Amino acid sequence: MFGDLERTPRTLLVCERSSFLDEKNRLSSQVEQLHFNYKVSMLLPECSSAPSHLEAVFNSINSFYLIRKLPIHELLDKHFLETAVHQGRVSGLSYGTRIDEDNCVALMPNGHLSLSLDKDSFEVLGVEGKPSRFNQRTNSRFVVSVDLTDSSMAPGGRGYQRLVTGLKSRLQLKTDFLLSHPPGCGASLHAFLSRYDWSEHKPEIRSHTLTDLSSPLLTSDLQSCDPRRLLEWLGAVDAHVSCENSSSSFLSSLVCPEPRTRLSQALSVSVCGLLRPQDVQQLIQQIRCYLEQPRLENWVSLTVHGFVDSPVSWGGEEHGVLRGGDNFYSLLMFHDHTYQLHLATGAHDTCPP
């Protein structure tokens, strides 16, 4: 056990400071590149209840579907491709599967299908793929990536038929599957869903008011606050873990970073589900409106967590768990329209954009 602890891999953390007013800021494109988000956490200092316009965004976040034991070859159904995939309308992810042990599937909004398969399943499937970058020495895991919008994958074509045959007749891969769609497009999926055991789910919203909270003294330059310690503090607040400890505490060494101040109250809000990047964009926009109002504090934090066991991470690049599985970003927004973005991933993943 001690040897494993010593080998715990480092993580990658990319920090970027910019302004919403800067036409060259990359925030919008960076948000769009994390396709599969399961949780958004917000911390609003000196606030006891969510403002009405934020509540409206929470309630407008689209529902998503959970399909039980979906045959993956059904994602290549001609009608589903024409009405959902080719229109850039849907995204989906295998549910309850573990990226280091099970076969995992992701359907990205750009129409790319990614399969992360163990060696036996890959050989049975019989289509082109490449060894996973996380176990190249043993070649025990393989990745198949297919652009379903490409002309070679048109129904009836050679590449299409080969993949359908592999998934339908040879591998017969089935998995519980989460499916998300843009507002107003749910009705077009009902014919597809009606063939399976499915249920519709709304994102779960939780809020918690904190009192007398020790907080870092955050300013838009953030020169005095170490990014890793700041993220550690934000994570502890979201998990309701106390940071009122001495550095020599046996039970916990978590402390609030210096310099610090005290907040009389703060609102911690989380939204959990299969969340689209567009949902996050709406929250960011409404938080900016909130910050334009006179407040005792001039900042708000927003942290977005990707699915740990998603086969893809930033921009569709392969994601691996191993011991970590970090796959998130945290955004600190200030009243002067500046922001600081922290993007994190496991040491074995591609560096965030």
pLDDT tens-digit profile, the chain (353 residues): 444 444 555 677 888 999 999 999 999 999 999 999 999 999 999 998 888 888 899 888 989 999 999 999 999 999 999 888 988 779 999 999 998 889 999 999 999 999 999 999 999 999 999 998 877 567 788 999 999 999 889 998 899 999 999 999 999 999 999 999 887 776 778 888 999 999 999 999 999 999 999 999 888 776 667 888 899 999 999 988 887 766 566 666 788 888 888 999 999 999 999 999 999 999 999 999 999 887 767 899 999 999 988 999 888 888 876 656 678 999 999 999 999 999 988 766 777 77
pTM of the model: 0.90
Give CA separation, 323 vs 102, 237, 270, 271, in Å. Answer: 16, 23, 25, 26
CA 51 to chain centre: 25
Per-residue pLDDT, 2: 44
Q: CB of 276 within 8 A of CB of 182?
A: yes
Q: What does the pLDDT look like over 234-270, one tens digit per residue?
A: 999 998 888 776 656 666 678 888 888 899 999 999 9
Q: Is 3 exposed, middle or buried (0-12, 13-18, 19+ CB in 10 A)?
A: exposed
Per-residue pLDDT, 348: 67
Contacts 24+ apart (CB under 8 A), 307-310: 307/36, 307/37, 307/38, 307/93, 308/99, 309/97, 309/98, 309/99, 309/104, 310/36, 310/93, 310/99, 310/104, 310/106
Per-residue pLDDT, 213: 92
Per-residue pLDDT, 1: 44
Per-residue pLDDT, 321: 64
Strands 112-118 and 104-107: antiparallel
Q: What does the pLDDT look like over 41-88, one tens digit per residue?
A: 999 999 988 888 888 998 889 899 999 999 999 999 999 998 889 887
C-alpha triplet 75, 76, 81: angle, nearest 5° = 90
Rg of the Cα atoms in the chain: 22
